[in-house]
């Protein structure tokens, strides 16, 4: 079972993602990134976080501890942004917390340029993403952290943010376990992921027993209203059946075609050059229908 804590202090929202998680302190003296049931992505994003994150941990990848966190919106009464307040008021009760990694930095292209990643580690991470249909770990949004970034301990890659994975649970009747997805732009594709070795190592470890252990961690309430199922037990069975079948059919979906880091750099430069060129000449002749040119407008009223 995941540990349960109670949030005692709301620190601040994180506006880096669409779900707007918040940083909280809890009664175990820990600090967590809290993901809310009332977010636009709903509880399925939290289910994906648990299933993929805990599967990653059991396969030997680094992933912050998850906890089930009881949250009372009253502790965030001073939050000034109305849209955030609406989210918090829609999320009383049990939510999902991820251990906060102090000082961690995003694995951005700038950080990646000087950060060594072993091809086998890259292969293991890409393999997990391919298994769980997580197409949201790209060169432009890696959902990877580098931590620790201080002291003498070597910095390591940590996996975060799997709410967009398990795309099949949004349409169960259209889920094909052997379907291949495009991972050419995976955040670690430029490190030459050793997919064959990762597949030989990890696929046999994804057993029915392991999957049942992982899906058992999801609260019943987050599975109880899944359309087309009699109850949480049936939904868990469906997750186990799909992921087990996908692991056994890895030869059909194993991604192996990745551009090199040099090829990615060339593509990024082309993209940047298009941005620098700005609007084409024909578009520059279009009259401004919104009043003064941007350079002449008074923006002070729009600055918080």
Interatomic CA distance for residues 5 and 89, integer angstroms? 19
pLDDT of residue 262: 77
Query: Are 54 and 84 in a shared domain?
Result: yes
Listing DSSP states for 4-65 in one string gives EEEEEEEEEE-TTSTT--EEEEETTS-EEEEE-TTSTT-HHHHHHHHHHHHHHHHTT---PP
Tokens 């994150």 appear where? 53
Query: Are 78 and 112 in a shared domain?
Result: no
Annotate 262-282 with three-state secondary structure: HHHHHHHHHHHHHHHHCCCHH
Query: Are 93 and 109 in a shared domain?
Result: no
Within a domain: residue 304? no
Q: Are 124 and 201 in contact (CB under 8 A)?
A: yes
In this structure, are strands 66-71 and 3-13 parallel, antiparallel, or unpaired? parallel
Interatomic CA distance for residues 176 and 143, integer angstroms? 25
Query: Are 70 and 131 in a shared domain?
Result: no
Q: Are 160 and 95 in contact (CB under 8 A)?
A: no
Q: Give the pLDDT of the chain (304 residues) as one tens digit per residue.
A: 899 999 999 999 998 767 899 999 999 999 999 999 999 999 999 999 999 999 999 999 999 999 999 999 999 999 999 999 999 999 999 999 999 999 999 999 899 988 999 999 999 999 999 999 999 999 889 999 999 988 888 999 999 999 999 999 999 988 899 999 999 999 999 999 999 999 999 999 999 999 999 999 999 999 998 999 999 999 999 999 999 999 999 999 999 989 877 777 787 778 777 767 765 555 455 444 444 443 333 333 333 3
Q: Which of residues 79, 99, 119 is at a domain's end? A: 99
Within a domain: residue 289? no
Query: Are 156 and 93 in a shared domain?
Result: no
pLDDT of residue 259: 83
pLDDT of residue 16: 72
pLDDT of residue 224: 96
pLDDT of residue 12: 95
Interatomic CA distance for residues 257 and 54, integer angstroms? 27
pLDDT of residue 281: 57
Query: Are 87 and 109 in a shared domain?
Result: no
Within a domain: residue 220? yes
Q: Which domain holds residue 57?
A: 3-99
Q: Which of residues 99, 125, 144 is at a domain's end? A: 99
* Domain count along the chain: 2
């Amino acid at each position: 079972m995941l540990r349960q804590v109670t949030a005692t202090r709301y620190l601040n929202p994180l506006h880096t993602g669409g779900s707007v998680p918040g940083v909280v302190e809890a009664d175990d003296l820990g600090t967590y990134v809290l993901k809310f049931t009332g977010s636009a992505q709903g509880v399925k994003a939290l289910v994906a976080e648990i299933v993929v994150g805990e599967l990653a941990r059991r396969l030997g990848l680094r992933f912050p501890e998850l906890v089930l966190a009881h949250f009372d919106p009253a502790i965030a009464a001073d939050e000034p942004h109305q849209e955030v307040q609406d989210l918090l008021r829609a999320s009383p009760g049990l939510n999902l917390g991820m251990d906060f990694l102090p000082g961690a930095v995003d694995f951005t292209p700038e950080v990646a340029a000087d950060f060594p990643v072993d091809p086998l580690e890259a292969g293991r991470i890409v393999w997990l993403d391919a298994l769980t249909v997580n197409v949201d770990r790209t060169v432009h949004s890696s959902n990877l952290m580098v931590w620790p970034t201080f002291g003498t301990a070597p910095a390591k890659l940590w996996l975060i943010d799997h709410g967009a994975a398990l795309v099949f649970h949004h349409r169960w009747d259209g889920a094909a376990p052997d379907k291949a997805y495009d991972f050419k732009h995976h955040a670690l594709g430029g490190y030459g992921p050793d997919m064959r070795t990762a597949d030989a190592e990890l696929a046999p470890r994804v057993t029915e027993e392991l999957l049942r252990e992982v899906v058992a961690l999801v609260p019943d309430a987050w599975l109880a209203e899944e359309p087309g199922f009699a109850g949480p037990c049936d939904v868990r069975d469906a997750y186990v059946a799909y992921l087990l079948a996908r692991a056994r059919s890895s030869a059909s979906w194993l991604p192996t075609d990745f551009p090199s880091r040099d090829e990615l750099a060339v593509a990024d430069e082309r993209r940047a050059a298009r941005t620098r060129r700005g609007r084409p000449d024909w578009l520059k002749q279009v009259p401004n229908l919104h009043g003064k040119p941007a350079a002449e407008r008074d923006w002070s009223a729009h600055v918080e």
